[in-house]
Structure 1
Amino acid sequence: MAEADSGRCLSALLSGICQSSFYRQREVTDTRLREQLYPDMAHEEFTALCGRMRGVLKSMASADMDQAQLEAFLTAQTRKQGGGGLSADQAATLSRFWKSQRSRVRESLLAGSRSEPGLRGVSWRVDVQTAARGGDAPHGGPVALMELELGGAGQDSEFLCLELDEATVGQVLTKMADIQESIDRIVHRT
């Protein structure tokens, strides 16, 4: 295979790996990539190449490598002895590919890490109930009414309404304080 063809095929393989691994396009499979890009390559050889490139891309993506980090990483990969390293041509192709795809991969990873649906807004007020729900007996205690607005990207909002008595509000505040303490411990540990 000519050097230019080899670079184009590797770039297409990297694109396919990104589509299946990062962009969640399940129709892009290793079998399909082999059939379209490397039909003459032995199955075991393709599996090894695909696995190596997938591992390199995942390392680059998880570290969100900038250009300096990328060059150091690729240099180390080309110096590896044995079958686990990269050729200089592969490293150059990876470098060009990462320059063009880094921001897209990062956005895809960030979008995949967000919880859906997300909290869009909270409104609340405190009322005093004048009658119990089931009957006419006066309650007289304060009640917190909370409305949570939930929704995913491109979706209409859904609303969740909560009615909390004084004891439940105290429990919620205690739990929130525990969560804050846990977050503070983790943040200050690093």
Structure 2
Amino acid sequence: MAEVDAAKSLMGLLNGITQKLYYDRSDVTEELLRRELFAHLPHEEFRALHERMRGLLKSIATADMDHAQLEAFLTAQTRRQAGGGVTAEQAAALSRFWKSQRVRVRESLLAQSRWEPGLRGLSWRVDLRTAARGEADPGGPVALVELELGRAGQDSQFVCLEFDESKVNQLLKKMSDIQESIDGIAHRS
């Protein structure tokens, strides 16, 4: 019976940590979890358990571990010595918890990583101006770009941009510079 209660408390702890980390529940505090689930544990012992489970959940979520990766990771964690590892019961609870929560945590992480408003659509065309009466030079081609921007669950907003040839070249140069910076960072990692 005590083993069942311990497993339920650990699942509650994992759920509480996930609520705080991935679902922005600021009302779920470390103290609340200790008081509700592990009141019998000394404060420092609970803090160590909380931090260990929090760290493991972050590692599992960041890697978006599938079943095989999770089992290998948890097996390695159960073999660790000196306070950093987990018991077989804790590993089993982590495995059950992750199997039931993986999709929701992944969706939450994706939602947190999106910029708002987001780009929903882009359309463009190039127009050639014609000379008006009495105008000798109509000018060069003009690129018209329409961006559709929006937040989740809201109507789109549209932004129209007009570029002459020099502005298009400046934009392409800036985009090339950004790509070089990204490539430089990606190759260093």
User: What TM-score, normalized to structure 2?
Assistant: 0.86
Indicate the residue corresponding to 1:35 in structure 2.
35
The separation in 1 between residues aligned to 2:136 and 2:56, in whole angstroms, is 68
Q: Which residue of 2 aligns with 1:59?
A: 59
| 1:20 equivalenced with 2:15 (yes/no) | no
Question: Deviations along 1:98-148, whole A, 9 cap, x unmatched?
Answer: 1111111111111211222111112233342868xxxxx887223322221
1:38-94: CA deviation from partner (whole Å, max 9, x where unpaired) = 122211111111000000111111111111111111111111112221111111111
Partner of 1:97: 97
C-alpha change, 1:138 and 1:120, in structure 2 (3 Å) is farther
Number of residue-to-residue matches in the alignment: 186
Q: Which amino acid aligns with 2:94?
A: L
Distance 1:139 1:18, change over 3 A: farther
Decide whether the 8 Å contact of 1:148 with 1:161 is kept in 2.
yes
Measure, in 1, the Cα distance between the counterparts of 2:98 and 2:90: 12
Amino acid at match of 1:149: E
Q: Identify unmatched segments of 5+ residues in structure 2.
A: none
Match of 1:140 in 2: 138
For 1:2 and 1:39, how far apart are their aligned partners in 2? Answer: 14
Offset at residue 34 of structure 1 (A): 1.2
CA distance in 1, matches of 2:186, 2:45: 44
User: Residue 151 of structure 1: CA displacement?
Assistant: 0.7
* 1:84 alignment partner, SS class: coil
Residues 129, 143 of structure 1: 8 Å contact kept: no
Aligned to 2:158: 159
Residue 163 of structure 1 aligns to a residue whose secondary structure is strand
List 4+ stretches of structure 1 deviating above 6 A.
184-190
Query: What's the TM-score, normalizing by structure 1?
Result: 0.85
Paired with 1:30 and 1:58, the residues of 2 have a C-alpha distance of 16
Specify the code of the residue in structure 1 equivalent to 2:34.
Answer: R
Identity %: 65
RMSD of equivalent CA atoms: 2.6
SS where residue 86 of structure 1 aligns?
Answer: coil
SS at match of 1:61: helix
Residues 26 and 186 of structure 1: is their aligned pair in 2 closer, same or farther, counting only changes over 3 Å?
same
AA at the equivalent of 1:105: V
**Is the CA contact 1:11–1:93 (under 8 Å) kept in the aligned structure 2?**
yes
Counterpart CA distance in 1 for 2:119 and 2:160 is 13
Q: Partners in 1 of 2:136 and 2:3 — Cα distance?
A: 85
Quote the Cα distance in structure 2 between the aligned partners of 1:138 and 1:100: 71
